Amino acid sequence: MLRDARLKGRGGRVSTTVTLLSAREGRETGQGTGVDLVASLDVGSPAGLAFILGAREDDDSLLYLNLAGSFADYEEHGPHTLIAGETGSGKGVLTQGLLLQMIAFNDPATAELILIDPKKGVDFGWLNGAPHMKQPIVTEVDAAASVFANLVVEMDARYQLLVDHGVPHIGAYNRNVSPEQRLSRIFLVHDELGAWMAQEKEYQEVVLSSVSALGMKARAAGIHLVLITQRADADAVPTRLRDNMGNRLCLKVQNSTGSRMVLDRRGAEKLLGKGHLACILANQATPPGQEFFVVQVPFAEFDDLQRLAAAVMAYWRGRT
Ligand SMILES: Nc1ncnc2c1ncn2[C@@H]1O[C@H](COP(=O)(O)OP(=O)(O)OP(=O)(O)O)[C@@H](O)[C@H]1O
Ligand SMILES: [Mg+2]
């Protein structure tokens, strides 16, 4: 079964359409056939900050993560997102899908991507050359600590700017100033955060204090964290960190303790793996009688990812 999901732009001009994520032959999940999903999205769509998470298990509809504004009957969710799951659960596939949507639907002039990856960036080579990346993938812990520190400085500067202009958030600010003065949204995506958090005490301190600072004002300032961890324990994701991550995306974890760490409730230990996802989203009520949303994340082969990323980059090159 194929589903064609077309993001309805919020009144914006429709531009090139790319097939975002390719279909996968019916995957046996043990509960019938898994979800095959084809999403055709408009490149440069103004709905760029609504991210498809997957197809809901209860009614097959698409679940969105809305980082700015409500979209498709869902509320605006929290600014920051935690992604957790044991090895092979599908964190990489989920993250890459989100990154592809980020570069496909956001003008590089309005969105900036910073990637931190302790695994030397091998999973993200397909992003090289994306105009949203203003710096190479960060792969060293010291450089990563600077990224966090700089982000807090940037947030404070932005916040002061909002105060000076008497506006509540970046959206209102950008509407009030000339195009050259507009601020872009900044996305910091950090793979394998838990590994460094558990091993590097100094880094843990920097991350914790930065995330606490960013937790409060980052939404207004247009700064978004996406933190990914394989480990779901107190060393990798301390309470102070989790408390600031309003959107919790939990793939299969080893046990109910891990599930409670990520979602504040058990259940994610029973997921089937391979992109079977339980999540809670800030400001968003869960379906009646359920403690979290359960969705199947769409799958893209690496080749498809590369092909789609190349199409997206060619599109942006053609516009500048
Ligand atoms: N959404 C999905 N649909 C179908 N299969 C999937 C999905 N996500 C992951 N898989 C399958 O599981 C494999 C592992 O996924 P992935 O690399 O994303 O795991 P991971 O959680 O990042 O693991 P690690 O922690 O080891 O990096 C994929 O190669 C794919 O075969
Ligand atoms: Mg991975």
Express as a percent the part of the chain with pLDDT over 90: 55
Looking at the CA of residue 35, tell me the nearest atom of ligand 1.
3
Cα 56 → chain centroid = 18
Domain limits, the chain: 78-305
Mutate to test the pocket of ligand 1, among 24, 63, 274 (most ligand atoms within 8 A of CB): 274
- Rounded to whole angstroms, the Cα distance separating 195 from 145 reads 14
84 CA to centre of ligand 1 in angstroms: 12
Q: What one-character DSSP code corresponds to residue 151?
A: H
Which of helix, strand or coil describes residue 101? helix
pLDDT tens for each residue of 29-58: 333 333 333 444 455 555 678 888 888 888
Write down the pLDDT at residue 24: 34
Residue written as token pair 């919020």: 10
Sheet holding 81-84, edge to edge: 62-66, 50-56, 293-296, 276-280, 247-250, 81-84, 223-229, 185-190, 111-116
277 CA to centre of ligand 1 in angstroms: 12
Which protein residue's CA is at the shortest distance from atom 17 of ligand 1? 92
E strand spans, the chain: 4-6, 17-19, 38-42, 50-56, 62-66, 81-84, 111-116, 185-190, 223-229, 247-250, 276-280, 293-296
Percentages (nearest 5) of helix, strand, coil residues in the chain: 35, 20, 45
| Over residues 234-239, mean pLDDT | 90
Most confident among 136-140, 174-178, 311-315 (mean pLDDT): 136-140
CA–CA–CA angle 206, 53, 124 (5° rounding) = 55
With a CB cutoff of 8 Å and minimum separation 6, the contacts of 8 are 47, 72
- Rounded to whole angstroms, the Cα distance separating 300 from 20 reads 8
User: In the predicted model, is pLDDT for residue 14 greater than 60?
Assistant: no
Task: Please report which ligand is nearest the Cα atom of 96.
Answer: 1
pTM of the model: 0.89
Task: Please report which ligand is nearest the Cα atom of 297.
Answer: 1
Tokens representing residue 121 in the block: 């960036």
Pairing relation of β-strands 38-42 and 247-250? unpaired
Cα separations (Å) of 307 from 75, 100, 245, 303? 32, 11, 32, 6
Write down the pLDDT at residue 46: 53
Which protein residue's CA is at the shortest distance from atom 27 of ligand 1? 87
Tokens representing residue 218 in the block: 């980052």
Count of other CB atoms within 10 angstroms of residue 172 = 13
Report whether 67 contacts 51 (CB < 8 A).
yes
Q: Taking CB atoms and a 6 Å cutoff, what residues make up the pocket around ligand 1?
A: 24, 27, 85, 87-93, 230, 274-275, 297, 299
Report whether 50 contacts 71 (CB < 8 A).
yes
Write down the pLDDT at residue 186: 96
Write down the pLDDT at residue 27: 35
Write down the pLDDT at residue 10: 28
| CATH architecture for segment(s) 78-305 | 3-Layer(aba) Sandwich (3.40)
Write down the pLDDT at residue 45: 56
| Over residues 173-192, mean pLDDT | 93
Write down the pLDDT at residue 104: 82
Nearest residue to 299 via CA among 62, 36, 48, 45: 36
